Structure 1
Amino acid sequence: MLFAVAIALAGGAAVGMSRSVNGRLTMDRGAFEASFWNHLSGFVLLSVFILIAERANVALLGGTPGWALCGGIIGAVFVAISSYVFPRIGANRSALLIIGGQMITGLAIDYLRGTASFHAGQPVGVGLILFGIWLTRFSR
C-alpha cells in the first residue's frame, strides 16, 4: 500500500508540473493548442510504450465497450480547462479548485453507484472543501 501511496503522490506532482508547463504554453499559443500538443506528445509516448512493452494487450481493446473510451475526451477537456485557468488564477488556486472538484465528484460518483457507504461526515467534508476553496479567494 505504501508503494501505491508513493505512486499517487508522484502522479499528483506530475499533474502539477504538467499544469505549469501547459500554463506557459497556453500563454504563448492558447489553451486549445496547448491541450493539443499535450495530448499529441502523450499519445506518441504511450504509443511507443505500448508497442514495446504491451503489444499483447492491444488485442484486448476489441472487447472494450465504446463508452469506456470517453475518458480520453474527459481528459482532453480537463487539460484544456486547466491550461486556460492556470495562468489566470495561479498554481495554488488552480490545484485547490481542481482537487476540490475531484473530491466532490468522487464522493458523488461513489454515492450514486452505491460503492461507498454514506455517513454524516461526508457532507461536513464537502463543506470543508468548499470553505477551503472559498478561503483561497482571499489569499494574495
Structure 2
Amino acid sequence: MALLDNIIFCAFLCLVGGVATASQGAVNSKLGQYTGQGLSSTIVFVVGAMTSCIYFLIEVKGRPPADLTVMMGKAPWWAWTGGIIGAVFVIINILAIPKLGAGTTTAIIVCAQLVFSCVIDNFGIFGIPFRQYTVWRGLATAGLICCVAVIAKF
C-alpha cells in the first residue's frame, strides 16, 4: 500500500496543511510590512514556484513524462486558474490580517472554504463526485458561522 493510500497519513497531511495555511497568512503579512504588499505576494509565489519545481522533479525522479504536453493540453481551461486563485488568497491574507488579525481572517476564510466546499460536493462542480448537502451539513455550517462570529467578537 502506498503511503498516500493511508487515511491516517492523509489526515495528518491535512493537519499540517491547516497549520501551514494559518501560518502562511501571518508570515506573508509580516513580509508585506517590510517589502510592500505587492512585492511580498510576488516573493511568496517565486519561492513557492521554486519549491513546487523541486517537488515536481522529485515526484518524476528527474524525468518528466513523455506525454506531459499532450496531457496538459487536455486540461479544461478552468484547471489553469489555480495560480490566480492562490494569488488572490495570498493577497487577501496580506491585506486582511493587519486589520482583522490572524484568527479572525483565518476563521472567515476557513468558514468560506468549508461552505463552498459543501456547495462543490453537492453540485459536483469541477468534476468532484457528488456528496449531498444534508441537514447535518447545514447544522455544521450554521455552527461554523457562529464560531466565526465568536472569534471575530472576542
Shift of 1:110: 1.2
Checking the alignment, whether the CA contact within 8 Å between 2:119 and 2:133 is kept in structure 1 is no
Paired residues for 1:1-140 under 5 Å: 1-54=7-60, 55-57=63-65, 59=68, 60-113=71-124, 115-139=130-154
Query: What TM-score do the two structures reach when normalised by structure 2?
Result: 0.80
Alignment TM-score, normalising by the size of structure 1: 0.87
RMSD (CA atoms): 1.9
Partners of 1:4 and 1:50 in 2: CA distance = 19
AA paired with 1:18? Q
Aligned mates of 1:61, 1:51 — CA distance in 2: 17
Contact 2:122 2:130 in 1 (8 A): yes
Aligned sequence identity (%):
25
Q: 1:35-80: CA deviations, max 9, x gaps? A: 1111111112222332454232472434323321111111111111
d(CA) in 2 for partners of 1:111, 1:52: 35
Total equivalences in the alignment: 139
Structure 1 residue 127 displacement after superposition: 1.0
> Structure 2: 5+ residue runs without aligned partners?
1-6
Cα deviations across residues 6-60 of structure 1 (Å, max 9, x unaligned)? 1111111111222221010122233322211111111122223324542324724
Contact 1:100 1:133 (C-alpha < 8 Å) held by counterparts: yes
Describe the SS at the equivalent of 1:56: coil
Query: Which 4+ stretches in 1 moved above 4 angstroms?
Result: none
Comparing 61-70 with 73-82, greater Cα deviation is found at 61-70
Give me the whole-angstrom Cα distance separating, in 1, the residues matched to 2:134 and 2:59.
43
